[in-house]
Structure 1
C-alpha cells in the first residue's frame, strides 16, 4: 500500500541497505528525539551545531504523540501571549533543516517502544516534558469544582485530547499558586471572551468563555511578595485589560531579612515586589472583574457541601527571617465556588525507563539515563522530564547543550549502541507496516496554512484546529485521505 507522505519523508532519507555495525562510524549518527516541544527542538539544534554534525554527520527524527509540533508553546502558553509564541519562529528554523524529520501522531511506547527505537537509532533522547498537574495534598482537593491548572490550560489552548467544554459557572474562584501559570489561569478567567477573540482560540473555547460567570478571582500564595515566582512582564500584563481590576492588600506587603536579601540579589524579584507595592497603595477602580493577589495565605482545605466546592480555608502565615514562613494558627474561610491549583507540573512515567516518583523525573547524570546507578546505553533525557518543571522556556537550552555534549562524547568514545537498521527509510517502513497514521513536517505546514486560512476569513491571524481527526486530515497524514479542506468548514 502506498501512503500519502512517504515521498515527502523519503525526500530527506538516505537510501540503500542497512550498514553493518562496524560501519557505524562511517555513516551519519542516527538520533531519535521523543517530544517536539522546545526541549526536543533545542536538543536537535544542539546536535546540528555539534562536532558530530560535521563528522560523520547527524540524522535526526523528532517523534511527537500529537499531530502538530511545538508542545508547550502550542498547548501550554496562554493565547493572549503572542510574544512568547514567537519562539515558534526559532523552533521552525530548526525543524526546517534537511537533517531533521518530524513524525507527528506517533506515540511512545504504543507505536515505537524503547527496544524498537534502539533498532532504528544509535541514540534516543527523551524530551517529553511535564503535562500533568502536581498533587496538592489537602482535604477537599478532589471535590467537584476543584481543578488542575494544566487541565484548564489544555482546554483553552485547544488540546485535541481533552473535553471540548469546561464548567465555568462559579462567580468567585480561587487560584492556588504564585507563578506564571497561576497568572494565566486568573487572567483567562477574568477576561471577557471578546477580549480573547482576536487570538487563535477555537470556537468551542470562545463559546465557553462567553458563558463564564467569574467576576472575582482570588490568587493565593503562602509566602510574601519577594518570594512570588511571577515574571515581571507577565505580572504587569495582568493590569492591561480594561475589564480587570488588580487588587493587592497593603497588609500583604511585608519583608524580612531573607526577603530583602532576595530583592537585592535578584532583579526580577525586586521588580515584581515593586509592582505589587505600587498596586497596594493605589485607589481601587471600578472595572467589572477583579483579581485579588493574596500573600501569606496558605491553603489548608477546600470546603465542600454535597460533594461540591463551596469555599477555601487558608491559614495566615508570617515570615521567619529567612524568607520562609510559619503558620500563625489564624484561619480564614473564603467564599468561592471553584478552586484551581497551579502548584506546578508533573512529568508522566515513561515505560521501560527508570523513574523517580518523588521528583517525577528520570534519574540521570548530566542527561545520561541512569538505571540501578549505571548508564542506560544510548539513552538520554532533556528538559522538564530531566530536571523538573522549573524555569522559563529558554532555560531548556542549557539542558539540551549538556545532554547533547554527553551524547557526542559517548559517540566519540564508541559507547553508543549502533542501530540494527540504521537506514532512514527503515523506520518509515516500520511505521507504515504497523499502520501508524503519522504526520510530517510538510504536513504541519499544510495544517498551519489551513489554520491561517480559517483565521483570515474572520480577520484573525489563526484559528486553531482542535479535533485530532481534523488535524490529521488537514495535515495529509499517512493514512488519512487528503481532500481539499474548505476553510469555511
Structure 2
C-alpha cells in the first residue's frame, strides 16, 4: 500500500510513547495519533510519581523527544469509549494500540476495609500529584499511620507522610496539596510487609532516599533480619535484592539520629484486620509470620494490634476496562497473546487491536520494563501490516479525524497546547522560586492547552 500505516495509540504515558517511538523507528512508513484522556500527556510520570523524585521525572525529557517527531500527533482531552467509540476510531486507523495503564487500587480484603480512614495508594498518589480525577483535600489528622506493602509506591507514600509540608513545597505540588501537607499530624509511619527483606520489592535507591530527610528516622527491628535458603539464593542471584537487603540491615544496626518523625519498616507481619471504633480506624492487627524455606511464609499465631488512626494499602494498582474492548476481570488486563487483543469467546486475535504496558500484563515492573513490552507488541503490529492481515482504514486521511472530533464538539488539546500549559505551570512556580507548580483543575488545563488560541 502506497500510503503510510495509520495507528491510534490510546494512552500517552510511557507505554504508549515507547510503542509510538518503536513504530516510528521501524522501516515502515507510519503516522500516529496519540490519544490521551487527560488534557496533558505523560500519564504515570505526571500523575503517578512522587513529587520529590526529580530523577525519575527526568524521563520526561526523553519522552519529549519522541513527541517532538513530526510523524506523531498528540490529541489530548479525548476519552476513548466516552467521547469516541473504538469502533469509530477504526474508520480512521489501520490499527489501534491500547496503553491505558492502571490507576485503580487492588483491594485489601480484610475486616475493617470499609472504614473511612482506609485509603488506596492510588487515591493518595492522585491527591498529592494533583490529578484532577482525585480529591483536592486530604485528612492528615492521624498521628500514627500504617502503610501496607513493600514496593516503591509504599515507600513514596510513607516518605510523603513522614516529611514536612515545607520540605515538599520546593517541588511541583499545587497549593491545595501544600495546605494539607503542612498541617500533617503524622509523627509515626509504619510500613508492613508479609514476608522478609529478600522478598521486598523496593529498589535500593528509593530505599536509601528515605534517609535523606533530616526529619525522618528509619527504624528496622533487628529481629526482622532473617533469611531462609530461598532468600539467600535470591540475594545470590540478584544484585538488586542483595543491595536492598544490605540497606535494610544497615538501618537495623545503626544508632538513632534523633529525627522527629519515625518511619518503621516491619517485616513478617501479615494484615489481619483494620480495627474500628465508633466508625473510625483505631488500630491495625497483624499476624507474625516466619519463612518456610521456600521464600514464602506461614503464620505463627502471634498477633499484634498497632495503634494507628489511618491505613494506606499499597498492594498493587488495577487497570480499568476500555468500553467495548475485551477485559479480563480476574487479572484486570485486556486479554492478549503478547500483543494482539484476543476475543474472550474464540481466543482468536481481534484484527487491528493491540495492547501494551500495564493494561497488557498487569502493573508490575519499573517504567523501563515497558520498553520491552512495547517491542513485542509493535513487532506483531508491523508484521500484520506487512502480511496484509490488517483491514485498511476506510478514511485514513490525517485531517479527517480532526474534522470528526471538531464536528462532535470535542475540545482536543495538542502538543503545542502542552507547551502552553507547561509554560503556565513553570511561570506559576517561578514566582515562588520553584521549577513549576501544577495546575490541577481540568478546565484550567484545557484553557491553557486548548488547540485553538483566541
Looking at structure 1, the residues matched to 94 and 308 of structure 2 have their Cα atoms a distance apart, in angstroms, of: 54
Which position in structure 2 is the counterpart of 1:12? none
Q: 1:409 aligns with which of 378, 383, 386?
A: 383
Q: 2:143 aligns with which of 171, 178, 195?
A: 171
Looking at structure 2, the residues matched to 285 and 442 of structure 1 have their Cα atoms a distance apart, in angstroms, of: 49
Q: 1:191 aligns with which of 146, 157, 163?
A: 163
Question: Once structures 1 and 2 are overlaid, which stretch shifts more, 286-295 or 352-361?
Answer: 352-361
Which position in structure 2 is the counterpart of 1:222? 194
Which position in structure 2 is the counterpart of 1:435? 409
Q: Does 1:421 align with 2:392?
A: no
Which position in structure 2 is the counterpart of 1:377? 351
Looking at structure 2, the residues matched to 203 and 357 of structure 1 have their Cα atoms a distance apart, in angstroms, of: 37
Which position in structure 1 is the counterpart of 2:8? 32
SS for the counterpart of 2:90 is helix
- 1:477, CA displacement in angstroms? 3.8
Which position in structure 1 is the counterpart of 2:203? 231
Looking at structure 2, the residues matched to 195 and 275 of structure 1 have their Cα atoms a distance apart, in angstroms, of: 24
Looking at structure 1, the residues matched to 114 and 319 of structure 2 have their Cα atoms a distance apart, in angstroms, of: 20
Looking at structure 2, the residues matched to 300 and 435 of structure 1 have their Cα atoms a distance apart, in angstroms, of: 51
Which position in structure 2 is the counterpart of 1:98? 70
Within 5 A, what are the aligned runs for 1:2-401? 25-52=1-28, 57-371=29-343, 372-401=346-375
Cα RMSD of the aligned pairs, angstroms, is: 0.8
- 1:336, CA displacement in angstroms? 0.2
| Deviation by residue 1:414-467 (Cα, 9 ceiling, x = unmatched) | 011111110001110111011011100000000001111111111111011000
- 1:204, CA displacement in angstroms? 0.5
Count of residue correspondences: 452
Which position in structure 2 is the counterpart of 1:455? 429
SS for the counterpart of 2:421 is helix
Structure 1: 4+ residue segments shifted above 2 A: none
2:411–2:450 CA contact under 8 A, matched in 1: no
- 1:284, CA displacement in angstroms? 2.0
SS for the counterpart of 1:101 is strand
- 1:300, CA displacement in angstroms? 0.9
Which position in structure 2 is the counterpart of 1:471? 445
2:412–2:450 CA contact under 8 A, matched in 1: no
Looking at structure 1, the residues matched to 322 and 296 of structure 2 have their Cα atoms a distance apart, in angstroms, of: 34
Looking at structure 2, the residues matched to 422 and 170 of structure 1 have their Cα atoms a distance apart, in angstroms, of: 56
- 1:357, CA displacement in angstroms? 1.3
Looking at structure 1, the residues matched to 349 and 78 of structure 2 have their Cα atoms a distance apart, in angstroms, of: 26
User: TM-score scaled by structure 2?
Assistant: 0.99
Looking at structure 2, the residues matched to 408 and 307 of structure 1 have their Cα atoms a distance apart, in angstroms, of: 56
Looking at structure 2, the residues matched to 179 and 242 of structure 1 have their Cα atoms a distance apart, in angstroms, of: 23
Which position in structure 2 is the counterpart of 1:486? none
Looking at structure 2, the residues matched to 258 and 162 of structure 1 have their Cα atoms a distance apart, in angstroms, of: 41
| Deviation by residue 1:64-94 (Cα, 9 ceiling, x = unmatched) | 0000000000000000000000000010000
Looking at structure 1, the residues matched to 142 and 184 of structure 2 have their Cα atoms a distance apart, in angstroms, of: 8
Looking at structure 1, the residues matched to 367 and 352 of structure 2 have their Cα atoms a distance apart, in angstroms, of: 26
Looking at structure 2, the residues matched to 240 and 174 of structure 1 have their Cα atoms a distance apart, in angstroms, of: 21
- 1:334, CA displacement in angstroms? 0.4
- 1:285, CA displacement in angstroms? 2.6
SS for the counterpart of 1:412 is helix
Which position in structure 2 is the counterpart of 1:5? none
SS for the counterpart of 2:211 is coil
Looking at structure 1, the residues matched to 156 and 352 of structure 2 have their Cα atoms a distance apart, in angstroms, of: 38
Looking at structure 2, the residues matched to 119 and 139 of structure 1 have their Cα atoms a distance apart, in angstroms, of: 49
Segments of structure 2 that go 5 or more residues without pairing to the other structure are none
2:14–2:63 CA contact under 8 A, matched in 1: yes
- 1:136, CA displacement in angstroms? 1.4
